[in-house]
Chains A and B, each alone.
Chain A
Amino acid sequence: MKPYRPHPRGTPWVFLAPFLLLFGVFTAWPLLRSLQLAFEQTSGPQTTVFVGLKNFRYLATDPLFWQAMENTVTFTLGTVCVQVPVALGLALLLNRPDLRGRALFRLIFFAPSLIGMVFVALLFLPMLEKRTGLVNIWLHAVYPPWNLEFAWLENYAMTALILATVWVGAGFMMVFFLAALQHVPAELLEAAHIDGAGARQRFWHIVLPELRPVLGLMTLLAIVGSMQLFELSYLLLGDTGGVSNRGLSLVMYLYQTGFTTGDLGYASAIGWVLALLLMGVAMLQRHLARRAQED
């Protein structure tokens, strides 16, 4: 028998090396730098001036930043409130063992989530036009008083963005709900049915509690994704977010200050605010999930 040979001491480090190296150079180091950058004002990466807290002080009174914040939060709330119920509804519709063509429906609903937001924006642009756009023409056909001049991309930019996002994301979320629904114990539902619980009661008292972890996770993912809105609005509404900056998101404002005005310092400050917001949301979700588990 050969003597037992433990692995060489360096082995785990060899496996970890690519990750550690790349992570250090391209994530950790810039992250540390961004702490410094947030206290500087720049004109491109080569011209920098230390300005102390000026960036954050200006941030507090910058109307465009607050506009972007408001838009981003509105978009996030709108997306989550529409997308989660739609996705859950689709999953419930599909979750019947006797349903024919289930795989096909699932494929159809899932397909849009493969499309990048850039391409979604390019696709929706002609569809949302006044007078000539598919959306207005269809709405007019279904509901004749509908005004063909309805300006989706001007006065209702946020609604348009949310609708496009739901079109893309609902199927993705649905897949997760569907997988979770299949884990709901059938015996439990059977027993409740025998006990005379109606469909609604079974949903509220058995299905929904089973779904709660996935529901929380999906909501978190939707919030984190929506808070980073960029391509869709950038390409549909233009680099300043269209009329009255109604579609200007935080990331768009960050991009604009950093790369059009050249102020990477202010862009970093915006980045930190966004990061803290997202970390707050993630922590809140974790806290809620833990509390739910303890119950």
Chain B
Amino acid sequence: MRRRLLPLLIYGLLAVFATLTLTPFAFLVASTVKTKADFVSTLFLPAGDGLFGVGWDRLTGENYRRIFGELHVPRALLNSCFLASVGSLLATLFSAMGGYALAKFRFPGREGIIRLVLAALIIPGPLLIAPGFQNLWRLGLLDTYAGLMLPGLAPAFGVFLFRQTMLNAVPSELIEAARIDGAGEFRIFFTLVFPLVRPMFGAFLMIMFLGIWNDYLGPQIVLQSPELYPLSTTVAMLKNLHWNDYGLVMAGTLVAIAPVMCLFLLLQREFIAGLTSGAVKG
């Protein structure tokens, strides 16, 4: 009896939690295809006499037409893609390079830099908001992509992570052997070292991509011109401008969420593996 009930209980609990987790998604998707009137009067899809008792004919593509037609969203989508892809690639590359230097080379000053990286790990972001703004103002980088991107391209966290990974994953003898064969230093890095840390590279890339894509405070502080805005600030602005038309805001939100969901599905395996490997091994 107990043997039978237990799986049932587990599946039941899982189903309840899954429903709770998915409800906001369902609400979001349904909201984007509803008219203004249906948005306030129905929770999900409007009732009607169509299939499954849903009033399919009452749905509308108007919100999407407006999002892509008259509002700034397409440009913001492009900006987000640019900032997140270029930013994450460079940040990951620079982290991997730094981590490689600290893991596989012996040189004077190495210990000092390792200590610096470890100390930098505990600097919380908010501490740098005010002085960082003043710094960008001094450098004349306010309202530029350089001002928004450059501070995020050298994450101490990344350097630390790649160093830890490379200490074990990249055998020094291999590098020596390649040198003996006369390979250049960059060639060694890209063709020999890189494939060995590829899962880590993928995971860290995804982390950086998500971080930049979802960053709100950074663009809010650094950027002023609306044509430079990424999706986070643009969609948040839609909320104030179209408070009366929340379906539109929900459509903007879905447009902002969908790309990272797709990317995640592509990178899922390496992402979760890379993410948990360091933490679990300790």
Q: Which residues of A contact B (CB under 8 A)?
A: 2, 4-9, 11-16, 18-23, 25-27, 29-31, 33-34, 37, 45-46, 90, 93-94, 96, 98-99, 105, 107-112, 114-119, 121-127, 132, 134, 137, 167, 171, 175-176, 179-180, 183, 213-214, 217, 224, 227-228, 230-231, 235, 250-251, 254-255, 258-259, 264-265, 267-268, 271-272, 274-275, 278-279, 282
Q: Would A105 and B18 be within 8 Å (CB), given that A26-B150, A175-B275 are in contact?
A: yes
Which residue of the partner chain B has the closest CB to A22? B154
User: What are 22 A-B pairs at a CB distance below 8 A?
Assistant: A11-B185, A15-B189, A25-B150, A27-B123, A34-B131, A46-B137, A114-B264, A115-B260, A118-B214, A118-B235, A123-B28, A126-B39, A134-B23, A176-B279, A230-B126, A231-B217, A251-B129, A255-B217, A258-B133, A265-B130, A268-B131, A274-B124
Q: Which of A31, A46, A250 has the most CB of B within 10 A?
A: A31
Q: Mark B45-57, 1 if CB is under 8 A from A, else 0.
A: 0000000000000
Query: What's the least CB distance linking B253 to chain A, in Å?
Result: 5
Q: Would A19 and B179 be within 8 Å (CB), given that A34-B128, A264-B131, A279-B122 are in contact?
A: no
Which residue of the partner chain B has the closest CB to A132? B40
State A228–B156 Cα separation when bound (angstroms): 19
A27 and B236 contacting across the interface, CB-CB below 8 Å = no
Q: Which residues of B contact A (CB under 8 A)?
A: 7, 10, 13-14, 17-18, 20-25, 27-28, 31, 39-40, 43, 94-95, 97-98, 100-102, 105, 107, 110, 113, 120, 122-135, 137-139, 150-151, 153-154, 156, 159, 179-182, 185, 189, 210, 213-217, 221, 232, 235-236, 239, 246, 249-250, 252-253, 256-257, 260-261, 264, 268, 272, 275-277, 279-280, 282
Query: What's the least CB distance linking A32 to chain B, in Å?
Result: 8
Which residue of the partner chain B has the closest CB to A6? B179
B179 and A5 contacting across the interface, CB-CB below 8 Å = yes
Which residue of the partner chain A has the closest CB to B151? A26
Nearest 7 interchain pairs by C-beta: A116-B214, A22-B154, A34-B131, A179-B276, A15-B101, A26-B151, A12-B105
Residues of A with C-beta under 8 A to B264: 111, 114
B232 and A274 contacting across the interface, CB-CB below 8 Å = no
Q: Would A45 and B134 be within 8 Å (CB), given that A16-B113, A132-B40, A231-B216 are in contact?
A: yes
A109 and B98 contacting across the interface, CB-CB below 8 Å = no
Residues of A with C-beta under 8 A to B110: 12
Residues of A with C-beta under 8 A to B257: 114-115, 119
B213 and A116 contacting across the interface, CB-CB below 8 Å = yes
Q: Would A30 and B128 be within 8 Å (CB), given that A19-B159, A127-B24, A176-B276 are in contact?
A: yes
State A111–B28 Cα separation when bound (angstroms): 14
